[in-house]
Structure 1
Amino acid sequence: MLQLVIGNKNYSSWSMRPWVLLRHFGIPFEERRLRFDQDPGAAFFTELARISPVARVPVLVDEGLAVWDSLAIVEYLAERHPEHPVWPRARGDRARARSLCAEMHAGFGALREHWPQNIEASLPDVGARVLAAQPGVRRDLDRIVQMWSTALQASAGPFLFGDFSAADAYYAPVAGRLRTYGVALPEAVQAYADRVWASPGVAAWVAEAVAERDFLQFEEPYRTAR
């Protein structure tokens, strides 16, 4: 059986993406959660060193083969399970979906830095302050609104390319960040973000993230105490 090695659900946006995809399509897998830590000698790093050449999650393990990058994991799952529409079936849609995922994978650094994932938190005041002080976050947000709007108009929804695909799994953590930081969105874009958040795989991850109750101070830049 596939094994997916992940970090804390409340904080690990990269782990969330393949987990949601596996869960959505009902692909059997075993979850192995490693608690985030900053100490190089901690179990998080020593355990990862046994299975992956990089000390990052997620890692997918399939009969001894380790795939250690989230986008590579998505591609591996698409090849391993062609019966599931991990990517849209139409070639043009598939190319656009891959482009959106690659853009997320390589970009949006300001948004990720200043609005880190924290699913159980509600920080609208922080969201407003960051938007006022960080023009890079505003640019990232405007681009996300643009790409979501364009894809939804072309596909007529309900998801970016019609049916739920890797593109929606890839942007699910962004939908979560926008909720955490109380970001106002255009009506159609907000409706899409709400649909993603309510989709079965995402809802399952969110419920487990909220139940986790494993708060790490170094992952909480906007809150110093609980």
Structure 2
Amino acid sequence: MKIIIGNKNYSSWSLRGWLAAKQSGLSFEEIVVPLFGENWEANKKGDDIQPSHGKVPLLWDDEIVVWDSLAMLEYLADKVGRDRFWPKEDAARGMARSMVAEMHSSYAALRSECPMNVRKRFDGFSPSEACKADILRILGLWAEARSRFGSGGPYLFGTFGAADIFFAPVVSRFISYQIPVPGFAAAYMQAVWEHDWMKAWIEASENEEWVIEQYETVS
């Protein structure tokens, strides 16, 4: 199995796909294709990325090609067992699915104003009203998940799973842009940031040489 991802410092969707692959417990080969590099357009047309029409992350499993991070997570969950990714309790699983779907499709202001940059710490960031609304919505969902279903551990639904995978880039954004959060959220973010897989991703991002200038300043 191969996972094709973009730069670890900048590619939030790649982080989700990569964490899903790690969560599956399956072995995989990792291929990094630098986003917007001098060979980006050529690489998008090459054998590595063509099946996804130039998108990362991408999963190849023998003859099976899966792109889009949520599709990858669901494919892997089908392959290894859904309980590895989703809570067993119906109510918790329903909420986790809803949170993941909302994360997948929403929060345009947060995405636009706070591109993921794992290495960077931005001073003086002032979110728009739309971005503030996204942040408050996310914090509210985190609070509800933790209070209702988080007693089994430090993550949203106790143990690390699909919801944490999908909100991991948000944790990175909140840290990079120094978003003020209440204590319960800070504790959750610390648990995610100190997860062994996240530490490996962070270390790799810090060792990358690529720089995308448009993601290095606050607009």
Please confirm whether the aligned pair reaches a TM-score higher than 0.5, indicating the same fold.
yes
Query: Do the aligned residues in 2 keep the contact of 1:8 with 1:33 (CA within 8 Å)?
Result: yes
In structure 2, how many angstroms separate the alpha carbons of the residues matched to 1:83 and 1:69? 18
Greater shift after overlay, 204-213 or 140-149?
204-213
What SS class does the counterpart of residue 35 from structure 1 fall into? coil
In structure 2, how many angstroms separate the alpha carbons of the residues matched to 1:77 and 1:53? 17
Residues 93-108 of structure 1 mapped to structure 2, 5 A cutoff: 93-108=92-107
The corresponding residue for 1:176 is 172
Query: Do the aligned residues in 1 keep the contact of 2:43 with 2:49 (CA within 8 Å)?
Result: no
In structure 2, how many angstroms separate the alpha carbons of the residues matched to 1:81 and 1:208? 27
The corresponding residue for 1:153 is 147
1:58 correspondence with 2:57: yes
In structure 1, how many angstroms separate the alpha carbons of the residues matched to 2:64 and 2:18? 18
Query: Do the aligned residues in 1 keep the contact of 2:34 with 2:40 (CA within 8 Å)?
Result: no
Superposed CA offset, 1:122-141 (max 9, x none): 1031x2x2x2xx11100000
Query: Do the aligned residues in 2 keep the contact of 1:36 with 1:44 (CA within 8 Å)?
Result: no
The corresponding residue for 2:80 is 81
Partner AA of 2:4 in structure 1: V
The corresponding residue for 1:203 is 199
In structure 1, how many angstroms separate the alpha carbons of the residues matched to 2:18 and 2:40? 26
Instruction: Work out which of the residue numbers 157, 178, 190 in structure 2 matches 1:194.
Output: 190
What SS class does the counterpart of residue 4 from structure 1 fall into? strand
The corresponding residue for 2:15 is 16
The corresponding residue for 1:212 is 208
In structure 2, how many angstroms separate the alpha carbons of the residues matched to 1:214 and 1:39? 11
Number of aligned residue pairs = 217
The corresponding residue for 2:116 is 117
What SS class does the counterpart of residue 60 from structure 2 fall into? strand
In structure 2, how many angstroms separate the alpha carbons of the residues matched to 1:38 and 1:212? 13
The corresponding residue for 1:222 is 218
Taking only the aligned residue pairs, the percentage that are identical comes to 34
Partner AA of 1:141 in structure 2: I
Instruction: Work out which of the residue numbers 162, 165, 171 in structure 1 matches 2:158.
Output: 162
Query: Do the aligned residues in 2 keep the contact of 1:49 with 1:55 (CA within 8 Å)?
Result: no
The corresponding residue for 1:137 is 131
Superposed CA offset, 1:181-221 (max 9, x none): 01110001111011011111111111111111311224334
Calculate the TM-score normalised by the size of structure 2.
Answer: 0.92
In structure 1, how many angstroms separate the alpha carbons of the residues matched to 2:84 and 2:46? 32
Greater shift after overlay, 213-222 or 139-148?
213-222
C-alpha deviation, 1:40, in angstroms: 8.8
Moved over 4 A (4+): 38-41
What SS class does the counterpart of residue 32 from structure 1 fall into? strand
In structure 1, how many angstroms separate the alpha carbons of the residues matched to 2:184 and 2:45? 45
Change (3 A) 1:94 1:79: same
In structure 2, how many angstroms separate the alpha carbons of the residues matched to 1:115 and 1:41? 23
In structure 2, how many angstroms separate the alpha carbons of the residues matched to 1:222 and 1:187? 26
C-alpha deviation, 1:90, in angstroms: 2.0
What SS class does the counterpart of residue 37 from structure 1 fall into? coil
Query: Do the aligned residues in 2 keep the contact of 1:21 with 1:201 (CA within 8 Å)?
Result: no
In structure 2, how many angstroms separate the alpha carbons of the residues matched to 1:178 and 1:122? 10
RMSD: 2.0
What SS class does the counterpart of residue 159 from structure 2 fall into? coil
